[in-house]
């Protein structure tokens, strides 16, 4: 599955291609003058070669070329796909590649002496929230895993909680329960269902939202000295969950890509 959005762009300027490789999706953005002018999403699979990924990428953006792309910023949590995309960059774009990790991001500090084990997506989210909102932020990233992370107004990555993602948990339920069939995840109509579909929607979606809401409450109680913590929802199902998590202040669907771009920009 792939999606592309084209926005106004200035072809006279070199662009930065930002790529975020996750376990479920690969998202790509083109940035010019600090604005995202193009966006696309691909399904993550290690069965595709660099040539096959470029064959998907090229028709979506005719301007993908050595002349148009001046630099590349990459964050990945899938090492095998990192190698595939590095080969794609080398073979087809020939632009310099900067890879985000805990040691390459300027200014962010950590509670551990060796932060090299921290996932690139967590670092990108923390850096993006810190730079964009200039305050303490609790980020709720709803993807393959649901990740909650706190970054202080001073740029300290305080820590993370990781739980199975909403869709991941639902898939496991449908796989293990013989009498339950997969359903499309939508906003629940009721709290307690009188049919299987409504019962599943409430348990899966409401249950996840209640977990998030209580986590936000507990984090704010535990980190009581961090004033005015902004709660940011990001990830593929952020829009679905937002109405059910009243403590969430912002839905920021481009937080991860923006964080990668800002980290690349501020490190150069």
Residues acting as catalytic residues: 121
Q: What are phi and psi of 37, to 5 degrees?
A: -110, -5
Integer Cα distance of 1 and 97 in angstroms: 25
Integer Cα distance of 245 and 139 in angstroms: 13
Angle in degrees, CA 33, 92, 40, rounded to 5: 50
Residue whose C-alpha is closest to residue 236's, from 43, 56, 75: 43
User: Reading across the β-sheet that carries 137-142, which strands appear in turn?
Assistant: 109-110, 156-164, 145-151, 137-142, 230-235, 250-251
């Amino acid at each position: 599955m792939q999606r592309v959005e084209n926005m106004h762009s200035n072809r006279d300027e070199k662009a930065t291609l930002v790529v975020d490789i996750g376990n479920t999706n690969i998202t790509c953005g083109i940035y010019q003058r600090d604005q995202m002018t193009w966006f696309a999403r691909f399904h993550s699979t290690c069965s595709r070669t660099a040539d096959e990924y470029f064959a998907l990428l090229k028709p979506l953006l005719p301007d993908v070329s050595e002349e148009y792309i001046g630099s590349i910023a990459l964050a990945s949590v899938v090492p095998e796909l990192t190698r595939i995309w590095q080969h794609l960059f080398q073979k087809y774009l020939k632009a310099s590649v900067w890879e985000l990790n805990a040691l390459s991001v300027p200014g962010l500090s950590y509670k551990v002496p060796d932060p090299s084990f921290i996932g690139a997506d967590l670092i990108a989210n923390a850096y993006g929230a810190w730079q964009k909102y200039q305050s303490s932020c609790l980020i709720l990233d709803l993807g393959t895993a649901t990740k909650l992370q706190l970054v202080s107004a001073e740029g300290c990555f305080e820590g993370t909680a990781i739980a199975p993602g909403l869709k991941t948990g639902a898939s496991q339920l449908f796989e293990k329960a013989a009498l339950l069939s997969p359903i499309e995840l939508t906003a629940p109509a009721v709290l307690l269902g009188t049919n299987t579909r409504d019962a599943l929607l409430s348990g899966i979606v409401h249950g996840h939202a209640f977990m998030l809401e209580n986590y936000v409450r507990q984090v704010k109680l535990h980190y009581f000295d961090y004033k005015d913590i902004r709660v940011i929802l990001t990830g593929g199902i952020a829009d679905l969950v937002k109405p059910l998590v009243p403590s969430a202040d912002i839905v920021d669907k481009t937080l991860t890509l923006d964080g990668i771009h800002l980290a690349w920009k501020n490190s150069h």
